[in-house]
Structure formats: structure tokens, C-alpha cells
A and B are shown apart, each in its own frame.
Chain A
């Protein structure tokens, strides 16, 4: 079957360049990356198997799915409830239609408060809206305080995984970055020394920051509380030490009540890294109150639509159920082989391949090829703790994709469907195929074919008889 080449569009995201296919080829040439990803994928697999057998993670999935579907169905009313409860708790709520609006508000706030240093805890929402670039553009110093995110900030890279952003790097690579940043060469590459160094450097920043910015894992509508799950304690400092705390959430992070939140707070770390509970679960209900010792003077909650609202009621609605655990990334043979950076988008892996073009638009040159970077093997659906049928959504996303490549493919498939809906033309074309193989074959194998079939024989021989000779 004929097939034009895909992946002619290029992107600009951090130090990411080239087409999607070119980036996969580049990643395939990197043996260190392959080793790092293999280690990460294997330990995730073992931990996850443990969660399945010991805690019945699979049984928790049906309820998690129901909760999230219900949340998305009732999204407008839950957001209204969340908003009024956060305000009643003394917080400020801002609804931003897109990333530009969200960034404008946060930059404006930082200017008004005369801030110079902003400390951030890990947040994919701020990655999505490019908040760091906006703040830095306004002359502020931005410090990522999650260990992985700080490593990437030093490396000038973007996250390769939703919850383990620097999982594609190993200890030696991290030590090299730390040595360069500190201007000394006596930092050993063992885990404890690296963590101790990062802790020392980051503590200085926590003390200096006037504004702390976090993401939100779960927002509880009934009490106006945001939950931030973490393992390092940095989010606790980011949300408590600076005078102003700004939490940024995608609008679909909201759940109805604590019953729902409690279930998802269990499922999230289990699915994410096979951990039965997160080290820190920060529950933030407004700013510091009279008589309280810790916490910021101001709490701002920025709720970003960014294309999400438009997905409700469509064939992509279930993508909004995602709890951003990253399990589909680790389960995906493509992500495990080339890593997240090759995707060239904030969200990588199967969920990234589905939502990035949805949020950016079907003809966005940076993301329109993403849904095609999957063999539709279904491992993502199997791993998803909220049961999103990612392999089906990928097929639907392909039907929605628009690029010169897909238009050419559309013409080719029109021809194909005209031939293959009639037995006579069908038999003629399969006979032609067999004849072509026989003509081009040597010793039972075809080693190269012209035209679009070149992409097949570029990597594989074709047997002229079946079962093939060795």
C-alpha cells in the first residue's frame, strides 16, 4: 500500500529541533538514553506489578474511572463550587481562557508585589502555558525546586516524563550538570551527594523567593482545597514559605468531594511509580489564617481552560479524565525506546500524543504528527488507572489530524478503497503485489522496493515465499 512520508513539520520547544521522525532516529542513536530508559521502565514495571498483586490496583480502576467521568460531566458546576469555596477561604480565583491570559495575570501579580525571585514546584500546567519563559521575559529569576526539574533547568531541557521529568538522565550526567553550575569539580556522582548538593543550593532560593508557584494534582470543590502530591518536600516549602502562593491548574483537575479525592490520592502514586502513598500530600485551603503560624499571606488559584472546555461532549472527552500519573508513558514501547524529549511537546507518550494536538489545534505544526507515533498496541489503555481508551483516542486523533502528509495519504486511501471494495480489482491488486515480489526477489527475499514502499524495505526484507526461508 502506498504511503507518503510523514513528519515534515518542525517544532521549536526548548532545544528540540527537526521532525518527529528525525528526533526518533536521533534518540535511537543514543545508547546512554536507551540504558537510562530501560532502567526506569523496568523498575516501574516491577513496582507496578507489586501494586497490582498487593493492593489490587486493577480493582481500584473502575471506581477511579467513574469518579473522573462524573467530574468531567459536571465540570462547570464543580468549578463554580470550587471557585466560591476558595474565595470563602480567603483565596483569589482567576479563570484563564488560555495560557497567555494565565501568564499575563501571574506576571502582573509578580510585578505588583515587587518580586524578584520565584520558586516553583513541579507543574505540568505551567510547562504547558510556558510560564517560566513569561516570568523570565519580565526579568524575574525562576527557580525550579523539584530535583528533576532543577536538573532540567540547569540542562536547558524540558521534561521527558510527567512525574519523573529527568528520568532520561543518569547520575553521571546529573553530576556533570551540578559541577558546571557550582563551578567546582568535587561533587561525586553518588545519589546522596547529589541530593545533598541540590538541597543546599535550593534552600538558598526558598529563603529568597517572594512568590511560590505550584501546580495542582486534585482540587476538591466541596471545601475549596487544592492537593499537591510530592516526594521531596519542596512543594511544601514553595507553598508555605513565600508571602504569595500561586497554584496553577488545568480546569479538569477538579473533583467533587473528599470521598473522591481520597480514592484518587491512593490511585495516583500507585499508578505513577508503584508507591502506596506519596511522601507528602499537601492540602491547601486558602492562605494563612488568623492565629496560624505557617503559610502565605495570599493564595491565588489560576484555573486554565487552554482548549479543555471545548473537548467536553466530544469523542475526546475521556482524555480529560487523565490524572497525570505518567503510567501510559512507562507502559508505551515507543516512549520507553526514544524517551519523552523526542515528542517535542510538554506532554509526551500516549496521553501527550492525544491531548497536545487537541489543545494546540489539529494543524499545529508542532503536534499534528504526534498521534501517528504509536503502534496502537494498547499497553497504555491497560496501564491507565482511570481506563482512558488511549489507543482508540489515538485513532480518532489521526482522523482529525491535518497536514500535507495526511492529505496525500487521504488521496492514496481513496484509490485504495475504490480498488478494495470490489473483489475483481482487489484480486488484481493482490496478484500484482505477488508478481512484484517475485520479480524483485533474490534467494527468496526482496531487499528494496521503490517509492513509498521504500519506508518498509528501508528496515526490513520481504519474503517472496511463505513461510520464509531463513
Chain B
């Protein structure tokens, strides 16, 4: 799954994920008709509109083996929220089925013991994005994947498990509060002295990098798929 944000802003994220998977020997298909998991409307409190889009996603990925998503948040949406979203709907079974075979990108690598043979990198610090950490309960897979990068050194930042303040519609409803948290995250990352900030979610990175640029905090960001698949 490409994810909508990568389509709109950073196609290199899903392209790098595809390359990393292909190098690890995975037969990757990227269904052309895919759109979005529906999370923006779901978390904004408009479940009917979210369901209409999610229904399309169910159809697009029906009959595939495993679905790999280069986003902890989109993966969590499918794994955690789809069963609730489709409870009592005709697609309930299909939703549960998709949830059971969906994995975030680094989770997929870890589960199958895959080596994407990444290029060398410098020091990195890793931001635990919220849905990755607390909904998928995953903090090890991305760190293991980074440990596998030649030359890469992981420098942990203060409070790496604290939210960056993006939060979907929250970032638009409460921009100042969201911005403050984004700035704190950028400063925590910069304080490590690492060459770049890496995360499994483009949304967090877009917010942190955008806030860092606005406030002059020197942080370079890259999605973990770009570290592993460039």
C-alpha cells in the first residue's frame, strides 16, 4: 500500500519501500487503483465517509497475500479500526481478513527475517510514532532494521515515545499546541547530534520537518523506507 500522503507529497517513500522489499526477494505488487485507508475522516468523527473510502480499499486489496504499509498509522487503522468500522456491515468478514494480513513495513521485514541490503548511512535517531508504538505495540522492528544498516548508529533522543503533536485533524484544529509539540520533538532530535531523524510515519515527519524549518531547528528527516531502500 502506497498511502495517500506519500502519493500527495513524497512518492519516494513507497518507491523505496518497494525497492527494499524487492531486494529482499519479495514479489511486490502495488495495486494501481488504491487510494486511502480512510483514517482522516474516521478520526475526524465522520465514520460514514471514512467507510465509503475504506470499502474501496477492501476491494483493492481483496485476494492479496500480505499487505505491507510504509506507515504505522495507516497499518494501525486497518489492523485496529477496520474491525470496529465494519462491525455489523456486509464487509465485516473482509475487514477482519484484511486486518489479519496487514503489517507495517518494518514489521513485515522482521516477521520474515528479510534483509533489504540497505546502503550505508550515518547516525540516526528514531521517533516512535504513536500508532506504531501504542496501537501496533511495535518498537523493536524498526530499531532492528536500522541496526542492520551498514555504518548506521542509533542515538536515542529524550522522550522518543512522546507524540510529535501531528494527530491528523488535531494539527488543524489546534495548530499552536500541535506546533509546540512538533518543535519540542525537533529539538529533542537535534539535541542527539544524529545526522538524521527517522520514523515509520511520513505524517509525523512532514509535521516535524515543517515545524523545524519554520523555527530554524536543524533537523534532517527521512522515512525509514528511504533509509532501507534507497
Residues of A within 8 A of B (CB): 1, 3, 5-7, 20-21, 24-25, 28, 333-334, 337-338, 369, 371-379, 381-382, 392, 395, 397-401, 406, 409-410, 413-414, 416-418, 420-423, 426-427, 430, 433-434, 437, 445, 447, 452, 455-456, 458-463, 466-468, 470
Contacts A28-B176, A374-B170, A470-B220 known; 19 new A-B pairs at CB < 8 A: A3-B169, A6-B173, A21-B173, A21-B176, A376-B131, A376-B170, A377-B163, A377-B167, A378-B133, A398-B43, A409-B169, A421-B55, A422-B56, A423-B33, A462-B9, A462-B206, A466-B9, A466-B12, A467-B223
- Complex Cα distance, B45 from A409, in Å, reads 9
Q: Report the minimum CB–CB distance from B87 to chain A (whole Å).
A: 10
Q: What is the bound-complex CA distance between A158 and B41, given in angstroms?
A: 34
* A460 close to B35 (CB less than 8 A): no
Q: Is B53 an interface residue (CB 8 A)?
A: yes
Does residue B30 face the partner (Cβ distance < 8 Å to A)?
no
Say whether A413 contacts B44, CB under 8 Å.
yes
Q: Say which one of B88-96, B115-123, B146-154, B177-185 lies at the interface with A.
A: B177-185
Q: A334-B177, A337-B181 are in contact. Are A420 and B36 (CB under 8 A)?
A: yes
B175 touches A421 (CB 8 A): no
* A373 partner residues in chain B, CB cutoff 8 A: 170, 173-174, 177
- How many residues on the B side are at the interface (Cβ–Cβ under 8 A)? 69
Is A375 a contact of B167 with CB atoms below 8 Å?
A: yes
B131 contacts A378, C-beta separation under 8 Å: yes
Give, as a whole number of angstroms, the nearest-CB distance from A352 to chain B. 16
Verify B44–A381 contact, CB threshold 8 A.
Answer: no
Q: A21-B173, A461-B214 are in contact. Are A467 and B131 (CB under 8 A)?
A: no
User: Are A24 and B177 closer than 8 Å at their CB atoms?
Assistant: yes
Closest 3 CB pairs of A and B: A375-B167, A398-B45, A460-B210
| Chain B positions 189-222 with a Cβ under 8 Å from a chain A Cβ | 206-207, 209-211, 213-214, 218-222
- Chain A residue at minimum C-beta to C-beta distance from B12: A466
- Whether the pair A28, B213 counts as a contact (CB closer than 8 A) is no
30 chain-A/chain-B pairs, Cβ below 8 angstroms: A1-B40, A3-B44, A6-B173, A28-B176, A337-B177, A371-B45, A372-B173, A372-B174, A375-B166, A375-B178, A377-B163, A381-B134, A395-B43, A409-B44, A413-B46, A416-B41, A417-B53, A420-B4, A420-B36, A430-B8, A455-B175, A459-B211, A460-B213, A461-B213, A463-B206, A463-B210, A467-B221, A467-B222, A467-B226, A468-B221
A-contact 0/1 string along B25-64, CB 8 Å cutoff: 0000000111110001111111101101101100000000
Closest approach, in angstroms, between the C-beta of B72 and any C-beta of chain A?
A: 11
Q: In the assembled complex, how far is the CB of residue A186 from the closest CB belonging to chain B, in whole angstroms? A: 39
Q: For A3, list chain B residues within 8 Å (CB).
A: 44, 169, 172-173
Q: Distance in Å from the Cβ of B117 to the closest Cβ of chain A?
A: 20
Is the CB–CB distance between B218 and A421 below 8 Å? Answer: no
**Min CB–CB distance B170 → chain A (angstroms):** 5
Whole-angstrom CA separation of A374 from B173 in the bound complex: 10
Q: B229 in the interface, Cβ–Cβ < 8 Å?
A: no
Give complex CA distance A266, B13 in Å: 48
A34 to chain B, nearest CB (A): 9
- Interface residue B84 (Cβ < 8 Å from any Cβ of A): yes
From A5, A338, A395, A417, give the contact of B49 (CB < 8 A): A417
Which chain A residues lie closer than 8 Å to B13 at the CB level? 466
A437 to B10, CA, bound (A): 12
- B39 to chain A minimum Cβ distance, whole angstroms, is 10
What is the distance, in angstroms, from B34's C-beta to the closest C-beta of chain A?
Answer: 7
Q: Which residues of B contact A (CB under 8 A)?
A: 4, 7-13, 32-36, 40-47, 49-50, 52-53, 55-56, 81, 84, 130-131, 133-135, 161-163, 165-182, 206-207, 209-211, 213-214, 218-223, 226
| CB-CB nearest in chain A for B219 | A470
Assembly CA distance A3 to B8 (angstroms): 17
Q: Are B35 and A421 in contact (CB under 8 A)?
A: yes
Of chain A, the residue at the smallest CB distance from B10 is A466
Q: How far is B222's CA from A372's CA once the two chains are assembled, in angstroms? A: 29
Q: Contacts A375-B163, A401-B45, A470-B220 given: A459-B175 contact, CB under 8 Å?
A: yes
| Alpha-carbon distance between A7 and B134 when the two chains are bound, in angstroms | 28
Q: Is the CB of A459 within 8 A of B34?
A: no
Interface pair A409/B46, CB less than 8 Å apart: yes
Residue of B nearest to A453 (CB): B172
A399-B46 in contact (CB<8A): yes
A369: chain B residues at CB < 8 Å are 173
A93 CA to B122 CA, complexed, in Å: 69
Which residues of the partner chain B approach A416 to less than 8 Å between Cβ atoms?
40-41, 49, 53
Known: A392-B84, A410-B46, A460-B211. A470 touches B134 (CB 8 A): no
CA distance A398 to B167 in the complex (A): 14
Find B172's partner among A401, A456, A467, A470 (CB 8 Å cutoff): A456
Q: Kindly list chain A residues whose C-beta atoms are within 8 Å of the C-beta of B42.
A: 395
Task: Please name all residues of chain B whose beta carbon is closer than 8 Å to the beta carbon of A337 when the two chains form the complex.
Answer: 177, 180-181
Residues on B with beta carbons closer than 8 Å to the beta carbon of A381: 134
- Whether A460 touches B179, Cβ cut-off 8 Å, given contacts A410-B46, A417-B50, is yes
Contacts of B52 in A (CB 8 A): 417-418, 421
Please indicate the chain A residues that have their CB under 8 angstroms from the CB of B9 in the complex.
Answer: 433-434, 437, 462-463, 466
Instruction: With both chains docked as a complex, state the minimum distance between the C-beta of B77 and any C-beta of chain A, in angstroms.
Output: 11
